[in-house]
């Protein structure tokens, strides 16, 4: 516990048998080293859902931080307290002991080391930077790969249905279908020169019988 005093603490609920946990680990390790290298007070504690000591040892062997010992009874308390229903889950606790967020994993995926110190203020600052990036992009558009109107939407982490690569921050999104396109995948095509007439778009949309209120595409 003395190692955690006065530090921002990340509780890392995960297990070796869980593929997304293994996939997330290198990203967390990178962010961890980068945050520490800047002299920031951070510690991570691995809280294992492994089935046996050997798997715990193997997984923890690849981690540069602390762990709750395998089989420690405090794990149950912590899982319940933070309502851990899926892993990996990363909970950030401030140096004052207050819970900052239970969605620190998304923040690490999205911002890497820049997410530190995982506070609301920091998120707002990073989102303001993203707003700058999105300036001048159309709020709504249609795209040949999807039947509904797509809305420029702030999305933490998603997979682009165009190129299948991961994306974050902004997506041209159809919420009804959970359909995402990277802004770069949409806007680069528009540059190719097919300038749609907005009136035609409007007609297509009503013919289709779908209307999008910005959050959901609904059938009219």
Q: Does 88 bind Zn ion (CB under 5 A)?
A: no
R_g of the chain computed on alpha carbons = 21
- Residue from 174, 180, 205, 212 touching Zn ion (CB under 5 A): that is 174
Using the rule CB under 5 A, give the single segment among 71-79, 106-114, 134-142, 144-152 that binds Zn ion.
144-152
Q: Does 183 bind Zn ion (CB under 5 A)?
A: no
SS3 label, residue 58: helix
Instruction: State the minimum distance, in angstroms, from the CB of residue 142 to Zn ion.
Output: 10
Instruction: State the minimum distance, in angstroms, from the CB of residue 173 to Zn ion.
Output: 9
- State yes or no: cis peptide before 68, omega within 30 of 0: no
Pairing label, strands 166-174, 179-181:
antiparallel
- Residue from 11, 35, 160, 186 touching Zn ion (CB under 5 A): that is 160
Using the rule CB under 5 A, give the single segment among 19-27, 73-81, 107-115, 176-184 that binds Zn ion.
176-184
What does the alpha-carbon distance between residue 173 and residue 177 come to, in Å, rounded to a whole number? 9
Q: Does 169 bind Zn ion (CB under 5 A)?
A: no
Q: Which is nearer to Zn ion, 15 or 160 (CB)?
A: 160
Q: Does 162 bind Zn ion (CB under 5 A)?
A: yes
Instruction: State the minimum distance, in angstroms, from the CB of residue 187 to Zn ion.
Output: 11
What is the end-to-end Cα distance of the chain in Å, rounded? 58
Whose tokens are 């297509």? That residue is: 204
Q: Does 216 bind Zn ion (CB under 5 A)?
A: no
# chain residues binding Zn ion, by CB under 5 A: 10
Q: Which is nearer to Zn ion, 60 or 210 (CB)?
A: 210
- Residue 66, both tokens: 């602390």
| Strand intervals (E) in the chain | 8-14, 42-48, 66-67, 89-93, 99-101, 140-143, 146-159, 166-174, 179-181, 210-212, 217-219
- Can you give the binding site for Zn ion, defined by CB under 5 A? 148, 160, 162-163, 174, 176-177, 182, 185, 217
């Amino acid at each position: 516990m003395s190692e955690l005093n006065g530090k921002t603490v990340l509780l890392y609920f995960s297990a070796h048998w869980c593929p997304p946990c293994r996939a997330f680990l290198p990203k967390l390790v990178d962010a961890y080293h980068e945050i520490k290298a800047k002299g920031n007070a951070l510690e991570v504690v691995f809280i294992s859902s492994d089935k046996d000591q050997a798997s715990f040892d193997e997984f923890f062997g690849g981690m540069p931080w602390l762990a709750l010992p395998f089989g420690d009874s405090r794990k149950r308390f912590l899982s319940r307290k933070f309502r851990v229903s899926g892993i990996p889950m990363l909970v950030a606790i401030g140096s004052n002991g207050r819970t900052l967020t239970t969605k620190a994993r998304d923040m690490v995926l999205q911002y890497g080391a820049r997410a530190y110190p995982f506070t609301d203020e920091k998120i707002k600052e990073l989102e303001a930077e993203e707003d700058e990036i999105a300036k001048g992009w159309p709020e709504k558009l249609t795209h040949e790969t999807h039947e509904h109107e797509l809305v420029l939407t702030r999305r933490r982490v998603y997979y682009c249905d165009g190129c299948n690569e991961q994306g974050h921050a902004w997506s041209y999104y159809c919420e009804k279908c959970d359909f995402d396109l990277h802004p770069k995948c949409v806007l680069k095509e528009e540059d190719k020169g097919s300038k749609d007439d907005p009136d035609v778009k409007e007609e297509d949309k009503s013919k289709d019988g779908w209307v999008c209120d910005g959050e959901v595409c609904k059938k009219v």
